[in-house]
Amino acid sequence: MRQTQRNISLIVLGICGALGVATEVRAAGFEHPDNGTISLGRGGAYAAGVDEPSALYYNPAALTRLKRHKLTLNLNLTDQKMVFERAPFTFLESGREGKERTWEFDPVENEARLFPAPMYFEGSNLGMENFGFAVGLYGPSSHGARKFPDAVGSTGPTNASPTAVSKAGQQYMIIDQSVLLVYPSVAAAYRIDPAKLSLGLTLQAPMLSVDYNLAADGDGSQGASQGGTPYVCGDPANPPGVACFQSEEKYDLIAPNRLKTFGYNFTFIAGALWEPTQNVSIGASVRPEFKLHTKGEVDVAFPDGLSGIGLYMTDQAATLDTVMPTVVRLAAEYKQMDAGAKPGDRPAWSVEGDYVWEGWSAMEAFRVKLAGSISDVACLVPNPDPTKPPTRVDANVSALSVTCPEGSQSSAIIGTRKLPNLNLYRNFEDAWSARVGFEKRVAKSATSETRLRTGGFYEKGATPKEWTNLDFISLNRIGLTVGGSYILPWGSIDAAYAYMYSPTWTVTNGKYEALLPLEICAVPVTDDTSPDYLVNGSDVPVSVACGKRTESVSHPVNNGTYDIGLQVLSLGTTLNF
């Protein structure tokens, strides 16, 4: 009983200690093989061979292998090289003359290369035969930070210089981000001895915090009102000599938008482990798809080119909805045991193969809902002295309307316009990886043991080429890993290294377009459920005014070359109690 109480106390203390780690467990994007130092050294092939508390992540059924209290602490240090050189953007200048202009772009690189991801796992059988229990706190095996050049522009293309160079070609995809995804977890497992089968379940409460900054094109305030009919430059449907409109990435209309949200949900991992002989283990685990609904606010830095209008937001509230995929692991391990080995002894060597499938096709778009409107309405009280300016008074502001109090007059250029809901399309595809890992004891004494590991994998990415984006990018890659452990009676010291290679990724048919939140005819980023607003206070609905457009007023901003490289150094220890 005392031993059981001691084990429970250690687990409780471990949970409290992990709260200090949680603020540093950041991850985003897509996972690479994989969490944990031992697993990384084996190429991420670990769902059948795991024998320490990180089993709650790989395969909770394997927790029945815990015959004593264990604490596993790991730190993955990920270095991600990410260089993007955007393809030149050539357009016809708005207006009746339609002269050709070109933006060229310098290469940009992610400045937030080194990313730490600590992990905590603790488990025990609590003195109960055939049982295993564990708690843990970790993030996905990924890189959660981006920092590219700030939204900047230079003097744009002109008649005298029809070509200009931008130093932030990625700004309409991303400027910077910091994403925190943490999985507080508790798990239990039970072994059915006659069947040599263990079953386990991990319960989780994933928490997502998003800080995401990208630029929008602040153009479009004239939009459908220009000439009465909103034609897109370059559209063959344009009547000759009629003014047109399109996004030109004007340097004085760059509008950074920072979205900050937080939310949580609940999910689980179910696992099974069959050990028909002392030499063979077959494992499987599954985590179902789940959604994350986060709430927060958006902050818009209105561009210099619109400073004279006096724009403001009526409500900064925003929500972000995303989907996390189903993850399935299938694994088989063969272990060569020493003569006379007992259950729980380490093998002389082992080899394991894993197949991991991730259902990323469930994630079509990041869906952002904006509660407020954009407005430049000012309420003015006329001055009895006509030589003096009117007095400005506070307007009656709600999320969807701005009205002036009695006795004042409304002054505006664009009025009040509901901000559209945004579908930030990614159209991810299902991903999978094939992994193999090998482990061998190379030295052993009465009090110590040295083990070496190596592994490799191939991973099919989730990013379709035409929807490539720097925020969350998952390319095809191959990886090679090495690792080792020095084991003593009190525990082990572990280390591993992984190098992952992806070929240069070139996008020529990009479909991700610059956002134009002020342009009422902007498609396809607006949500179909947005109300049908009238054009600048007229009696013409947007659906009618914009109906003659056959092309988008925006344009792709993700064409170019992507050079992505990744290496991971992992350090860890497992302590025995």
Task: Assess if residue 23 is contained within a domain.
Answer: yes
Mean pLDDT on 363-377: 89
Q: For the chain, what percent of residues have pLDDT higher than 90?
A: 59
Task: With a cut of 80, say whether residue 98 has pLDDT above it.
Answer: no
d(CA 120, CA 196): 29
- The CA-atom distances, in angstroms, between 96 and each of 115, 231, 318, 550 are 50, 11, 39, 19
Per DSSP, 419 falls in state P
Per DSSP, 6 falls in state H
Task: Assess if residue 315 is contained within a domain.
Answer: no
Tell me what pLDDT residue 487 has: 97
Instruction: Tell me what the pLDDT averaged over the chain comes to.
Output: 85
Task: With a cut of 50, say whether residue 550 has pLDDT above it.
Answer: yes
- Please calculate the CA angle 226-230-234 and round it to the nearest 5 degrees: 115
Q: What is the pLDDT of residues 440-457, one digit of tens each?
A: 999 999 999 999 999 999
Please, which pLDDT band fits residue 528 given cuts at 50, 70 and 90?
Answer: very low
Mean pLDDT on 45-60: 97
Task: With a cut of 80, say whether residue 23 has pLDDT above it.
Answer: no
Task: With a cut of 70, say whether residue 11 has pLDDT above it.
Answer: no
Neighbours of 528 (CB within 10 A): 7
Tell me what pLDDT residue 423 has: 82
The token pair that represents 560 in the structure block: 């170019």
Place of tokens 């309420």: 379
Tell me what pLDDT residue 446 has: 92
Identify which of 13, 10, 46 has the alpha carbon closest to the alpha carbon of residue 481: 46
Place of tokens 């009696």: 539
Determine which of 224-233, 342-351, 500-509 has the lowest per-residue pLDDT on average. Answer: 224-233
Mean pLDDT on 82-110: 86
Tell me what pLDDT residue 546 has: 58
Please, which pLDDT band fits residue 527 given cuts at 50, 70 and 90?
Answer: very low
Contact predicate 72/58, CB 8 Å = no
Beta-strand pair 70-86/114-124:
antiparallel
Task: With a cut of 90, say whether residue 270 has pLDDT above it.
Answer: yes
- The CA-atom distances, in angstroms, between 88 and each of 251, 429, 516 are 15, 28, 20
- Please calculate the CA angle 96-97-100 and round it to the nearest 5 degrees: 125
Task: Assess if residue 238 is contained within a domain.
Answer: yes
Three-class SS of 46-102? CCCCCCCCCHHHHCHHHHHHCCCCEEEEEEEEEEEEEEEEECCEEEECCCCCCCEEE
d(CA 189, CA 133): 6
d(CA 436, CA 455): 6
Contact predicate 52/121, CB 8 Å = yes
Mean pLDDT on 493-499: 98
Tell me what pLDDT residue 548 has: 53
CATH code: domain of residue 6: 2.40.160.60
Task: Assess if residue 497 is contained within a domain.
Answer: yes
Tell me what pLDDT residue 150 has: 86
Please, which pLDDT band fits residue 94 given cuts at 50, 70 and 90?
Answer: low
Task: Assess if residue 422 is contained within a domain.
Answer: no
Tell me what pLDDT residue 543 has: 56
β-bridge partners, 188:
133, 201
Q: What is the pLDDT of residues 470-494, one digit of tens each?
A: 998 999 999 999 999 999 999 999 9
Task: With a cut of 60, say whether residue 369 has pLDDT above it.
Answer: yes
Residues near 80 by Cβ (< 8 Å), separated by ≥ 6? 110, 113, 115, 143, 564, 565, 566
Distance from chain centroid for Cα 556: 21
Task: With a cut of 50, say whether residue 197 has pLDDT above it.
Answer: yes
Task: Assess if residue 490 is contained within a domain.
Answer: yes
Host domain of residue 50:
2-300+434-576
d(CA 516, CA 246): 10
Task: Assess if residue 345 is contained within a domain.
Answer: no
Q: pTM for the whole thing?
A: 0.87
Contact predicate 497/570, CB 8 Å = yes
The token pair that represents 346 in the structure block: 């380490």
d(CA 370, CA 314): 11
Distance from chain centroid for Cα 338: 45
Task: With a cut of 60, say whether residue 327 has pLDDT above it.
Answer: yes
Task: Assess if residue 281 is contained within a domain.
Answer: yes
Contact predicate 380/484, CB 8 Å = no
- How many domains does one find in the chain? 1
Contact predicate 548/237, CB 8 Å = yes
d(CA 90, CA 97): 15
Task: With a cut of 70, say whether residue 532 has pLDDT above it.
Answer: no
d(CA 145, CA 46): 27
